[in-house]
Amino acid sequence: MNNGFAVSVLTRSHLRAEGYDSRRIKRALDAEQLTLLRRGAYARTSELQNLTAEEHAAVRARAYKAVAVQEPVFGYQTAAALHGLPLLQDDGLTHVISADARPGSGSRVVRHRGPVEYDDIVAVDGLLCTSLVRTVADVARTASTEAALSAADAALRSVAFRPPGSYDRDAAESLRTSALIAIGVNSPGRVRARNVLDFADGRAQLPGESISRLRLRQLGFAPPSLQVPIRGPGGKIYWVDFGLDDVDAWGEFDGMTKYRQLARAEGHSASAVVESEKRREDWIRGVTNRPLVRWGWSDVRDAATLGRRLNAFGIHPPR
C-alpha cells in the first residue's frame, strides 16, 4: 500500500502555475480529467483509479491539510489508514482531532473533541496523526467489532510478526497493554474495546483472517492455532492459517488479494499460484490426516454462513 502518496493533491495555486484559470478548471472537472477532493483541492482523476479504501482516506487527509488554516491532527479511521491499518470500508469521511473551542465540522469532516497528549501525536509522511497506540485504542472503541479487530490484529502484526512465522509476544503484549491504558476508564465503548484488544492477535495476516477468527469463536470453536508450520517436500515449510485443533481440522481464508500477493512475490501468474496451492493442500491433507477447508469473504459475512461452509465438510464445533 502506498497510503495514497502517489496521488498529487493540487490546490488552485498549483493549477494556476500549470496555466489553469477558473474556466479551464471547470472544463477539466466536467471532462472528469480533474476530481474535486474538497473545496480548493483537486487530483487528476486518472491517479485516483484503483485506490484502496485506505489510500482514498490518505488522499482526503492530504487534501484537507492542503487547504487547512491550521495544521490538522488526524485520528480514528483516518489515522488508521495513515498507519497502514486496514479499513473494511471507506466511510468517505476525514477524521480530525480538535480542541473543544474549535468550530464545527466542515464538509465530510468529523471533528473528535478532546485533548491529545503530545506523546500521542506522530508524523506519518508529513501528516500529523495520533500514534499507533492511540489510534488502535480509538478505533477499538468506535468501529464495528470486525473493523476494530482487523485494525488491532494489523497493528500487533506490524510490531510483532516477522515472516515467515516469527512472532514477538513481548512486543505484541507491550502494544496491547499500552492501547488498553489509552482507552481509559471512562471512555465510551471501553468494554467492547477491551474485548477486542484481549482477542487481537498479530499472527492473523489479513482482515479476512481476523474476521474468520471472530466467526469461529461465535460458532463455539476453541481459539485456533495461527500460522501453523507444516514440513513440506524438499525441506519446504507450508504455513496454514488456522489449526482447528479441537476438531482435528485445518482452515484457510482465501481472498484474491492473497493470490495476487503470492503471484507478485513468486513472479508467477495467479493461475500458477492456484495450481501450486492445490498441490500444497493435497500434501497437507496427506501428511496430517486432517481435512483442510477453505473459505472466502462471502463465507464470513456472519457466523451462520461460515458454520454452513464447515458443516458441508463434516466439521462442527465440539458439543
Question: In tens digits, what is the pLDDT along the chain, a chain of 319 residues?
Answer: 455 568 999 999 999 999 999 999 999 999 999 999 999 999 999 999 999 999 999 999 999 999 999 999 999 999 999 999 999 988 899 999 987 655 555 679 999 987 788 899 999 999 999 999 999 999 999 999 999 999 999 999 999 999 989 999 999 999 999 999 999 877 899 999 999 999 999 999 999 999 999 999 999 999 999 999 999 999 999 999 999 999 999 999 986 555 555 555 556 677 777 788 889 999 999 999 999 999 999 999 999 999 999 999 999 999 8
Here the cell at position 42 is: 483537486
What is the C-alpha separation between 154 and 131, in angstroms, rounded? 14
Please state, as a whole number, how many other Cβ atoms lie within 10 Å of the Cβ of residue 266: 11
Contact predicate 294/255, CB 8 Å: no
pLDDT at 1: 44
What is the C-alpha separation between 71 and 313, in angstroms, rounded? 55
What is the C-alpha separation between 232 and 216, in angstroms, rounded? 27
Work out the end-to-end distance of the chain between its first and last CA atoms, rounded to an integer number of angstroms: 43
- Strands 249-253 and 237-244, how do they pair? antiparallel
pLDDT at 131: 97
What dihedral do alpha carbons 10, 13, 14, 20 form, nearest 10°?
100
Per-position b or e across 184-197, b if 16+ CB within 10 A of its CB: eeeeebbebbbebb
Radius of gyration of the chain from its Cα atoms, rounded to whole angstroms: 22
pLDDT at 292: 96
Here the cell at position 229 is: 508450520
Element (H, E) at 154: helix 145-160
Could you say which DSSP state residue 233 is in?
G
CA 279 to chain centre: 30
For the whole model, what pTM was predicted?
0.90
pLDDT at 265: 54
